[in-house]
A and B are shown apart, each in its own frame.
Chain A
Amino acid sequence: MEKPVLMRLENISKQYHMGEVIVEALKETSLDIYAGELLVIVGPSGSGKSTLLNLVGGMDKPSSGQIFFNGKELSVAGDQDLTMYRRQEIGFVFQFYNLIPDLTAAENVALAAELVEEPLTVDEALQGVGLLERSRHFPSQLSGGEQQRVSIARALVKKPHFLLCDEPTGALDYQTGKSILGLLDRVKNMGTTVIIVTHNTAIAAMAERVIRMRSGDIIEVLVNENPLPPERIEW
Chain B
Amino acid sequence: MQVLNRRLIRMIWNTRGQFLALIAIVMLGVLIYISMTTAYMNLSRSQQSFYQENEFADYFLHVVKAPEAEIKRVANIPGVVQVTGRIQKDISFIKADGGRGTLRLTSYKLPVEGELNQIQVDSGRMFAREGGQGIEVLVDPKFAAANRLKPGSLIKVIAGSREVSLNVVGTAVSPEFIYLMKDSASLMPEPEEFGVLMMPHENAEQITDMQGQINQFLLKLVPGADEEEIKEQAEAILEPYGNLAAYNRDKQLSHLSLKGELEGLRVSSRFLPLIFFLVAAGIQFLLLGRMIKAQRSSIGVMKALGLGNMRIVMHFLSYPVCVSLLGSLLGSIFGIYLASIFSQMYAMFFNLPASIGGINGTAILYSVILTLLVGISSGLLACRGILLIQPAEAMRTAAPVGGGSIALEKLSFFWNSLNSAWRMSLRTMFRNRTRFAVTVLGVAGTVVILLMAFFSSDATDYMMERHFSMENRYDFRVTFNAPLKQSDITYWQQWEEIEAMEASLQVPIKVSKDFSGSDEKIRSEDDSLQGLRVGQKLLGIYLADGQELQVPENGVLLSERTAKKLAVQVGDWIWVESKMGVGPSHQARLKVTGIPQALLGGGSYVSLETANRLLGESRLFNSLLLKIDTAKSEQFKNRLKNMTAISSVLSRTKERANWDKMMESMIFFIGVMILFGGVLGLVIIYNSSLMNFNERKKELASLRVIGFTRQEIGNLLFKETAVQAIAGIIIGLPLGRWLGGLYIGAVSTDLYTMPVIIYTQSYFIVAGCTIIFILAGFGLVLPKLKQIDLVEALKNQD
Task: List residues of chain A with CB under 8 Å of any chain B CB.
Answer: 50, 54, 57, 59-60, 79-80, 83-84, 86-88, 90, 92, 94-96, 98, 100-104, 107-108, 110-112, 114-116, 138-140, 154-155, 158, 166
When distances are taken between beta carbons in the complex, the residues of chain B under 8 Å from A103 are 403, 420, 423-424, 427
B304 within 8 A of partner (CB) = no
25 A–B contacts from the bound complex (CB under 8 Å): A50-B791, A54-B794, A59-B705, A59-B790, A83-B707, A87-B706, A92-B706, A95-B794, A96-B797, A98-B699, A98-B793, A100-B424, A101-B401, A101-B402, A102-B424, A102-B431, A103-B423, A103-B424, A107-B423, A110-B420, A112-B706, A115-B708, A138-B405, A140-B403, A166-B794
CB-contact partner of A86 in B421, B423, B428, B706, under 8 A: B706
Asked if B707 and A100 make an inter-chain contact with CB atoms under 8 angstroms apart, the answer reads: no
Asked if B794 and A50 make an inter-chain contact with CB atoms under 8 angstroms apart, the answer reads: yes
CB-contact partner of B698 in A54, A98, A107, under 8 A: A98
CA distance A121 to B400 in the complex (A): 28
- For A138, the closest partner residue in chain B by CB is B403
Asked if A84 and B790 make an inter-chain contact with CB atoms under 8 angstroms apart, the answer reads: no
When distances are taken between beta carbons in the complex, the residues of chain B under 8 Å from A115 are 706-708
Asked if B705 and A86 make an inter-chain contact with CB atoms under 8 angstroms apart, the answer reads: yes
B486 within 8 A of partner (CB) = no
Q: How far is the CB of A163 from chain B (nearest CB, A)?
A: 12
B434 within 8 A of partner (CB) = no
When distances are taken between beta carbons in the complex, the residues of chain A under 8 Å from B421 are 111, 114
CB-contact partner of A94 in B420, B708, B710, B794, under 8 A: B794
When distances are taken between beta carbons in the complex, the residues of chain B under 8 Å from A92 are 705-706
Q: How far is the CB of B402 from chain A (nearest CB, A)?
A: 4
Asked if B423 and A102 make an inter-chain contact with CB atoms under 8 angstroms apart, the answer reads: yes
Asked if B797 and A138 make an inter-chain contact with CB atoms under 8 angstroms apart, the answer reads: no
B419 within 8 A of partner (CB) = yes
Query: Quick one: given A87-B706, A87-B707, A107-B420, are A102 and B793 in contact (CB under 8 Å)?
Result: no
Q: How far is the CB of B119 from chain A (nearest CB, A)?
A: 74
B233 within 8 A of partner (CB) = no
When distances are taken between beta carbons in the complex, the residues of chain A under 8 Å from B403 are 100-104, 138-140
B589 within 8 A of partner (CB) = no
Asked if A98 and B709 make an inter-chain contact with CB atoms under 8 angstroms apart, the answer reads: no
When distances are taken between beta carbons in the complex, the residues of chain B under 8 Å from A111 are 420-421, 424, 703, 706
When distances are taken between beta carbons in the complex, the residues of chain B under 8 Å from A59 are 705, 790-791
Asked if B706 and A114 make an inter-chain contact with CB atoms under 8 angstroms apart, the answer reads: no
CB-contact partner of B699 in A90, A100, A114, under 8 A: A100
CA distance A86 to B707 in the complex (A): 5
CA distance A59 to B794 in the complex (A): 11
CB-contact partner of B793 in A79, A88, A94, A155, under 8 A: A94
CA distance A111 to B712 in the complex (A): 12
7 closest cross-chain pairs (CB), A and B: A87-B707, A140-B402, A102-B427, A98-B702, A101-B403, A111-B420, A102-B403
- CB 8 Å contact bits of B772-798 with A (1 = contact, 0 = none): 000000000000000000110110110
B125 within 8 A of partner (CB) = no
When distances are taken between beta carbons in the complex, the residues of chain B under 8 Å from A154 are 706
CA distance A79 to B713 in the complex (A): 14
| Residues from 661 to 702 in B contacting A, C-beta threshold 8 Å | 698-699, 702
- For B790, the closest partner residue in chain A by CB is A59
CA distance A50 to B796 in the complex (A): 13
Asked if B404 and A140 make an inter-chain contact with CB atoms under 8 angstroms apart, the answer reads: yes
When distances are taken between beta carbons in the complex, the residues of chain B under 8 Å from A158 are 707
Known: A50-B791, A83-B708. 19 other contacts (CB 8 A): A59-B705, A60-B790, A79-B710, A83-B704, A83-B707, A83-B709, A86-B704, A87-B708, A92-B706, A94-B793, A98-B698, A98-B699, A100-B702, A101-B699, A102-B427, A111-B703, A140-B401, A140-B403, A166-B794
- For B423, the closest partner residue in chain A by CB is A107
When distances are taken between beta carbons in the complex, the residues of chain B under 8 Å from A79 are 710
CA distance A54 to B795 in the complex (A): 12
- For A167, the closest partner residue in chain B by CB is B794
When distances are taken between beta carbons in the complex, the residues of chain B under 8 Å from A112 are 706-707
Asked if A107 and B790 make an inter-chain contact with CB atoms under 8 angstroms apart, the answer reads: no
Asked if A107 and B706 make an inter-chain contact with CB atoms under 8 angstroms apart, the answer reads: no
When distances are taken between beta carbons in the complex, the residues of chain A under 8 Å from B405 are 138
Q: How far is the CB of B755 from chain A (nearest CB, A)?
A: 47
- For A51, the closest partner residue in chain B by CB is B791
CA distance A179 to B431 in the complex (A): 33
When distances are taken between beta carbons in the complex, the residues of chain B under 8 Å from A60 are 790-791
Q: How far is the CB of B416 from chain A (nearest CB, A)?
A: 12
CA distance A149 to B402 in the complex (A): 18
When distances are taken between beta carbons in the complex, the residues of chain A under 8 Å from B699 are 98, 100-101
| Residues from 414 to 464 in B contacting A, C-beta threshold 8 Å | 419-421, 423-424, 427-428, 431
CA distance A90 to B428 in the complex (A): 27
CA distance A80 to B402 in the complex (A): 33
- For A155, the closest partner residue in chain B by CB is B706
Asked if B402 and A114 make an inter-chain contact with CB atoms under 8 angstroms apart, the answer reads: no
CA distance A114 to B421 in the complex (A): 10
When distances are taken between beta carbons in the complex, the residues of chain A under 8 Å from B793 are 94, 98
